[in-house]
Amino acid sequence: MVKGIVVDTSILIDDLRLTAKSPQMTTPYKVLQKQYGKVYIAEIVIAELFVGQSSREKAERNRVVRLIGELTKIKFNQSMYQKAGEIARDNQRLDLIDALIATAAIHKKLPLATFNKKHFENIRGLKLFDL
């Protein structure tokens, strides 16, 4: 068993949308949580989760906060920020947030689960999880 998995924002948004309609629904996030135990995020993902308009509503904001509480956050240091910058530089179609997420997975030596595989598929050293 792998010691954990890193997820990007797409996995968490999917979970929030699906469980809003049916709280007991088995989502890809819940499957990953059950399979790997520890689910990690790059801290920047927290900001991404609050960009959505639905987070203006108190009930939805509380759901986001609860979900964030279940996750293990990956803190960045200077060398990780440098690596993210290099990844973004070398992959012109990749935005900086995705480069930060990729760096978190590479740093932890864990696979990354995402619904946006095209964003990440050319990053050297990154293992993508097949959903």
Query: What pLDDT digit, counting tens, does each position of 57-99 carry?
Result: 898 999 999 999 999 999 999 999 999 999 999 998 899 999 9
Q: Residue 127: inside a domain, yes or no?
A: no
Would you call 2 helix, strand, or coil by DSSP? coil
CB neighbourhood size of 124 (10 A): 9
Q: Residue 109: inside a domain, yes or no?
A: yes
Q: Residue 105: inside a domain, yes or no?
A: yes
**Structural domain boundaries enclosing 105:** 5-120
Contact 55, 64 (CB under 8 A): yes
CATH code (residue 106) = 3.40.50.1010
Q: Residue 72: inside a domain, yes or no?
A: yes
Distance of alpha carbon 80 from alpha carbon 107, whole angstroms: 8
How far separated are the first and last CA of the chain, in Å rounded?
Answer: 16
Average pLDDT over residues 32-61: 92
Q: What is the tally of structural domains in the chain? A: 1
Instruction: Note the pTM of the prediction, 2 decimals.
Output: 0.93
Q: Residue 129: inside a domain, yes or no?
A: no
Distance of alpha carbon 44 from alpha carbon 13, whole angstroms: 14
